[in-house]
Structure 1
Amino acid sequence: MRKTMQKVMSFYLFLFLLPILLIKLPMLAFGVDAPKQVETQPVAYAANVTKEITKEIPVVEETSPLNVLLLFTHSHEAYHPIVKGVIGVNTNYDPSTNVTDISDLVTHHLQLNNAQVDVLPYDNMKEMKVTNRPFYQAYAAIRPILQQQINAKSYDLVLDIHRDSANHKVTSLKSNNESFARIALVVGTEHANYKLNEAYAKALSVEVNRLVPNMSRGVMKKTKDDGNGIYNQDLSPKSILIELGGIENTEEEINRTLAVIAKAISIVFENNTAT
Structure 2
Amino acid sequence: MVGKAVPGVTLPIVNTEGDWYVVPLPSGDRAYVASWVVETENPLRYVVFVDTTNLRSGPGLDYDIVGKAAPGDTLPIAAVEGDWYLVSLADGNRAYVANWVVKTNLDEGDVPKVYIYHTHNRESWKNVARNAKGSSVDDPEINITLVGGHLGEMLNKAGIRSLVETTDFAERLRVQKLGFSQSYAESRKAISKAKKANPSLAYFFDIHRDADVPRKNTTVAIKGKNYARILFVIGTAHPNHAANQKLAEELNKRLNKKYPGLSRGVISKSAHQGNGEYNQSLSPGSLLLEIGGANNTLEESRLAAEAFADVFSAYYKSLKVK
Of structures 1 and 2, the larger Rg is shown by: 1
Q: Tell which has more relative contact order, 1 or 2 (C-alpha 8 A, sep 6+).
A: 1
| Unaligned residue ranges in structure 1 (runs of 5+) | 1-62
Q: Distance in 2 between matches of 1:148 and 1:225?
A: 28
Code of the residue aligned with 1:80 in structure 2: it is K
Partner of 1:147: 192
Q: Trace 1:212-251 onto structure 2 (pairs within 5 A).
A: 212-251=259-298
Q: Distance in 2 between matches of 1:112 and 1:202?
A: 25
Contact 2:240 2:281 in 1 (8 A): yes
Runs of 4+ in 1 over 4 A off after TM superposition: 87-91
Q: Please state which structure has a larger fraction of its residues in helix.
A: 1
Code of the residue aligned with 2:154 in structure 1: it is H
Q: Residues 194-216 of structure 1: CA distance to partner in whole angstroms, max 9, x if unpaired?
A: 11111001111111111111110
Q: Distance in 2 between matches of 1:209 and 1:88?
A: 34
> Do residues 68 (structure 1) and 114 (structure 2) align?
yes
How far the C-alpha of 1:271 sits from its partner, in A, is: 4.4
Q: Structure 1 length as normaliser, TM-score?
A: 0.71
How far the C-alpha of 1:79 sits from its partner, in A, is: 1.4
Q: Alignment partner of 1:81: what SS? A: coil
> Do residues 81 (structure 1) and 137 (structure 2) align?
no
Q: Residues 243-272 of structure 1: CA distance to partner in whole angstroms, max 9, x if unpaired?
A: 001111122212221111001111222244
How far the C-alpha of 1:81 sits from its partner, in A, is: 2.4
Cα 1:175–1:102 change in 2 (3 A) is closer
Contact 2:228 2:296 in 1 (8 A): yes
Q: Alignment partner of 2:205: what SS? A: strand
Q: Distance in 2 between matches of 1:242 and 1:88?
A: 23
* 67-76 or 132-141: bigger deviation: 132-141
Partner of 2:317: 270
RMSD, matched Cα: 2.0
Q: Distance in 2 between matches of 1:212 and 1:71?
A: 24
Q: Distance in 2 between matches of 1:238 and 1:172?
A: 26
Q: Distance in 2 between matches of 1:236 and 1:88?
A: 34
> Do residues 162 (structure 1) and 208 (structure 2) align?
yes
Match of 1:188 among 203, 227, 235: 235
| Unaligned residue ranges in structure 2 (runs of 5+) | 1-106
Q: Distance in 2 between matches of 1:233 and 1:109?
A: 23
Q: Distance in 1 between matches of 2:260 and 2:126?
A: 26
Q: Residues 39-86 of structure 1: CA distance to partner in whole angstroms, max 9, x if unpaired?
A: xxxxxxxxxxxxxxxxxxxxxxxx833721010000111112243xxx
Among the aligned pairs, what percent are the same residue?
31
Cα 1:120–1:89 change in 2 (3 A) is closer
Query: How many residues matched?
Result: 208
Q: Alignment partner of 1:269: what SS? A: helix
Code of the residue aligned with 1:141 in structure 2: it is E
Cα 1:193–1:82 change in 2 (3 A) is same
Q: Structure 2 length as normaliser, TM-score?
A: 0.61
Code of the residue aligned with 1:251 in structure 2: it is L
Q: Distance in 2 between matches of 1:234 and 1:183?
A: 22
Q: Please state which structure has a larger fraction of its residues in strand.
A: 2
Contact 1:80 1:248 in 2 (8 A): yes
Contact 1:105 1:255 in 2 (8 A): yes
Q: Residues 222-255 of structure 1: CA distance to partner in whole angstroms, max 9, x if unpaired?
A: 1001100000000111011100011111222122
